[in-house]
Amino acid sequence: NLYNITENSAIHWIDLMIYNFGESISSINFPRLVSKNGTSFDTDLINLKFKNELSVSIFASYATPLIDDIIILGTNGFLTINNNSLKIYYPRDTFDENGLFTKPKNCIQKEFKLDSIIKQSLENSVNYFLKYVKNSKEFDISYFNSCIESNRLTLNLHKDDM
């Protein structure tokens, strides 16, 4: 499959964004084969825009060293998740001695073990699904619709290449 990186890796981040922010109103991607190994794209940059004017960029690659960093930029600061740490820097309007923007010095820091959180999330999802199947209960259709939207968006990213 030409789009392995998008359909096997980036789709999880796409799904998370759609689950939290709703349907994307526009999307574009820039897939590339960087490593020259194989024939599938190994790198993809995906930009999404949502109805609330939120913009998201997702970078996924099999051709780079493994970096599990998350950066969220806001209007008054930013959040980073890396090296088992979550940090929130604020305020945006932080200046150096020359009056130029500089990294905010205020920081809230918490332990954040991404690997453990991902594992726990997967366990919770499977247990949620099994509970509903075991008890023959109907699940919230919005969860299903969110997944459908993620798959639709992922397939539409490369519809012009098909």
Q: Is residue 100 pLDDT above 60, yes or no?
A: yes
**pLDDT at residue 161, rounded to an integer:** 60
**pLDDT at residue 1, rounded to an integer:** 81
**pLDDT at residue 155, rounded to an integer:** 87
pLDDT band at 29; cut points 50, 70, 90: very high
The 10s digit of each residue's pLDDT in 10-19 is 999 999 999 9
What is the dihedral angle through the alpha carbons of 17, 67, 102, 55, rounded to the nearest 10 degrees?
Answer: -20
Q: Which residues contact 104 (CB under 8 A, 6 or more apart)?
A: 77, 89, 90, 91, 92, 94
Rg of the chain taking only CA atoms, in angstroms: 19
- Which whole number is the average pLDDT over 146-151? 90
Burial code (b: 16+ CB inside 10 Å, e: under 16) for 44-69 equals bebebebeeeeebebebbbeeeeeee
Residue 9: DSSP 8-state:
I
Cα–Cα distances in Å, from 154 out to 26, 44, 110, 145? 12, 12, 33, 14
The 10s digit of each residue's pLDDT in 31-79 is 999 998 889 999 999 999 999 889 999 999 999 988 888 999 988 999 9
**pLDDT at residue 66, rounded to an integer:** 86
CA–CA dist 68, 116 (Å, integer) = 13
User: By percentage, how much of the chain surpasses pLDDT 70?
Assistant: 98
**pLDDT at residue 36, rounded to an integer:** 85
**pLDDT at residue 156, rounded to an integer:** 87
SS3 of 59-75: EEECCCCCCCCEEEECC
Q: Is residue 162 pLDDT above 70, yes or no?
A: no
CA–CA dist 126, 66 (Å, integer) = 26
**pLDDT at residue 139, rounded to an integer:** 82
